[in-house]
Structure 1
């Protein structure tokens, strides 16, 4: 039994001005053919699960290609066509008995608002109707019914932060192997309640999402149900299929799959008000951090959530911390030009740098700071623990640590890097447990790394491309009505 494996993963924020092109994928991860295996085999990622599945479920690997880039604006049509053609051609040439594919589910290009479905359409056209295709999807995928009509198996992550990716890859691999052997005949159905979920309410450790996940696992024990995936959706994509969904994979009975998916979708709808979580504005949030006795206090910059496609150079919380004379904070800012200034000054040198505002003032006005260059780094590290995103090798580009007054530290990096790993700080000599306050540019994904060492968590309603309040955005293409907008 020969199984082709590959993937094309991007979470596209359609409100973000930065397009995602070939260079962005090279900055992330881009492999073709056999080199895909050593890059991903040890990662806590579904592709690592696909590779492990070869030994567990008795198939030979045919690695095709894998692309991943940090969330940002839509993928360019040029790169999309190139890489999708590479996947489709590679799968066809592999003459495989089945295909394991890692997609995100919220990829968008200028021509394709449902780009993941288009990837599947082209691969299906290349393979014909009889080769089974199993797909893993991010919990934030904006899943469309078209995906379920093209793929035989759709499996979504069921944790946020995403720490179950390798496990979900193994589940997809097992179901595909069973389908190839003729033991099951998987069919999918996608139910889509008209809901836009607040990212904080998507946290799978928080009620009522935790209870909904328990229900999904119980439903998987029903005869004939092979898999149930509750999907939160990605609210920063203005596309027709934006929003929550439920995927059910059943054994040969599409009616059974639909009934189960509709049941869980109705359960989601019944708790919709509880899935929207309020949080304080910056001034109040910083005051809370200053008076907190649970250290380090984590200020979660929701509007500049890099993992959601934001700029990573938001200054709203930095400016407020300076205004309120905070002491002992750590803030990471994407500031390539300031990094070059720090490199020119050298370790021990003094710099006056301006940070923020590189993509406009949506995330705050530029802030000028003065400090000493404490250290300079290449910005690479290896993460060995299960973390959101599942990546093992990380790179935030050339990085400078600037000592400000009052024990404050500003970390400047040259590649946008979500705070999914403590290695972002520990690899440059900062012990996060010793800080009084840390600004985390995320929503929930940071928790797998930061919650074990954090004190009080203060989620902040900051402005930006990933603002927690959906009313800040002008949607033109989504389905209406949509809760809570209507």
Structure 2
């Protein structure tokens, strides 16, 4: 009789500076057979495929995901958690669980979700192996370590190896069930805050750090090595980078290797920086204008401080106001395209009015009223697209606002895909300037840009951490604090 392994998990990056509460309308869930039938490039799909190939009976629970946003609504989380635990109880007896977790999900009144969920799972399954993949930006906690046999994180940023990481987690599960390992795990906390825009794995120092990680993973007795970078836009005590190691059966090897990896990362702390062209907001606008005058376009600017794919509110208007006051970028032909603002009220007005009509209202700052203020607009509706599947069925509208084309969305969505512009009737390749609420550029939009730059704009994903009101971080932590030596202690 084949062994029975349950799969499932929850995935979210929760920005504690974002006032939006991530609720039922923001979260999509795959359950049961739909989860088994799902053929994605994500970690849970990799785990399912590997377990099936190895001849195991795979029992599906649920996988819940949302675009990075504010912390989760407690009631909805508790309902999903109980559904998840109920599926485990129903599936018993089980031989193992192979999960897909993010590692930086937060819940109202609870705090870390993964530790809370794993603790409850372990109460139901006190003896069987539990393994999980993690996002590279996981924030590792003692509760997570105490209630899981082993973790493995993504090794690529952008995350192009999610499927492979799911396979890795499944292989660890299989090895444990076949009696080939009695896992020992160790994790070292490294007091560093680091953003994704400084830690792409195709450039230094992450390129060399990940090469070292993979080389150490080939040593005898090592099952997995991970650098888990934490999530800098969460004001939580445990934040920072983690070096995590899983061995076959040797705790000392796990401890020593985690400390070795921690020391290596700490020694490279001054090597991290913005490797893309980076400017303060006003300077980015000036440089974009200079580039256009020189015939170098499209210019793509990242509104990095209000990046919804990193958890910001997607409604900060400060950079748009600067553009509207600029004599060059506000008067381009074709117009500058700004993608995009989460404003369900303005989007609904546009859809109700229809293409070719004029609407009036207040754009933006529906959620983040501390960072910016609403922008009064009288706008021509150039196009509307209800329920666009490319953005979780969000309504879209394209507005002409004082010489600038502004995309508005009815839901909190990622703004990285140039297809969003295309469905609204624009040809992004013909635009002289595009602004996206994004951090580092995704490949699809990068391919369009003749010049790209990251603007250090305002919002709850501000890239200059000293501009954020941290209260709960354990100090000292780099780069907020500079002159200290890290203890690089094990999380125990």
TM-score (norm 2): 0.90
| Shift in Å, 1:396 | 5.2
1:344 maps onto 2:352 in alignment: yes
| Shift in Å, 1:4 | 0.6
Partner of 1:74: 71
Partner of 2:486: none
Tell me which of 350, 366, 371 is aligned to 2:374.
Answer: 366
1:186-205: CA deviation from partner (whole Å, max 9, x where unpaired): 22211111111133212222
- What do you get for the CA RMSD once the two structures are aligned? 2.0
Partner Cα distance (2:425, 2:70) in 1: 32
Partner of 1:419: 415
Partner Cα distance (1:113, 1:316) in 2: 31
Tell me which of 204, 223, 231 is aligned to 2:228.
Answer: 231
Between 231-240 and 52-61, report the one with greater CA deviation. 52-61
Q: Secondary structure at the match of 2:380?
A: strand
Contact 1:89–1:126 (8 Å) recurs in 2: no
Partner Cα distance (1:426, 1:344) in 2: 21
Residue 473 to residue 115, structure 1, CA distance change in 2 (3 Å):
same
1:284-337: CA deviation from partner (whole Å, max 9, x where unpaired): 111111222442212111110102221111222222222113123111111211
Partner of 1:36: 35
Partner of 1:329: 336
1:439-471: CA deviation from partner (whole Å, max 9, x where unpaired): 121223x42332222222211111111101111
1:183 maps onto 2:180 in alignment: yes
Partner Cα distance (1:259, 1:300) in 2: 41
TM-score (norm 1): 0.91
Q: Secondary structure at the match of 2:283?
A: helix
Residues 343-422 of structure 1: matches in 2 within 5 Å?
343-381=351-389, 394-395=391-392, 397-404=394-401, 406=403, 408-422=404-418
Residue 373 to residue 232, structure 1, CA distance change in 2 (3 Å):
same
Contact 2:344–2:411 (8 Å) recurs in 1: yes
Contact 2:26–2:412 (8 Å) recurs in 1: no
Partner of 2:457: 462
Partner Cα distance (1:166, 1:426) in 2: 29
Partner of 1:296: 298
Partner Cα distance (2:313, 2:393) in 1: 14
Q: Secondary structure at the match of 2:190?
A: coil
| Shift in Å, 1:363 | 4.2
Q: Secondary structure at the match of 2:143?
A: helix
Partner of 2:106: 108
1:330-380: CA deviation from partner (whole Å, max 9, x where unpaired): 111112111122123211222334311212444433223444322211242
Tell me which of 430, 433, 441 is aligned to 2:429.
Answer: 433
Contact 1:149–1:188 (8 Å) recurs in 2: no
Partner of 1:45: 42
Partner Cα distance (1:97, 1:161) in 2: 34
1:244 maps onto 2:241 in alignment: yes
Contact 1:362–1:464 (8 Å) recurs in 2: no
Contact 1:9–1:104 (8 Å) recurs in 2: yes
| Shift in Å, 1:420 | 3.9
Partner of 1:14: 16
| Shift in Å, 1:111 | 3.2
Partner of 1:164: 161
Q: Secondary structure at the match of 1:140?
A: coil
Contact 1:336–1:415 (8 Å) recurs in 2: yes
Structure 2: which 5+ runs fail to align? 482-492
Partner of 1:260: 257
Q: Secondary structure at the match of 1:438?
A: strand
Structure 1: which 5+ runs fail to align? 383-393
Partner Cα distance (1:19, 1:70) in 2: 12
Partner of 1:211: 208
Residues 278-297 of structure 1: matches in 2 within 5 Å?
279-292=278-291, 293-297=295-299
Partner Cα distance (1:161, 1:430) in 2: 26
Contact 2:157–2:196 (8 Å) recurs in 1: no
Tell me which of 53, 57, 65 is aligned to 2:54.
Answer: 57
Q: Secondary structure at the match of 2:359?
A: strand
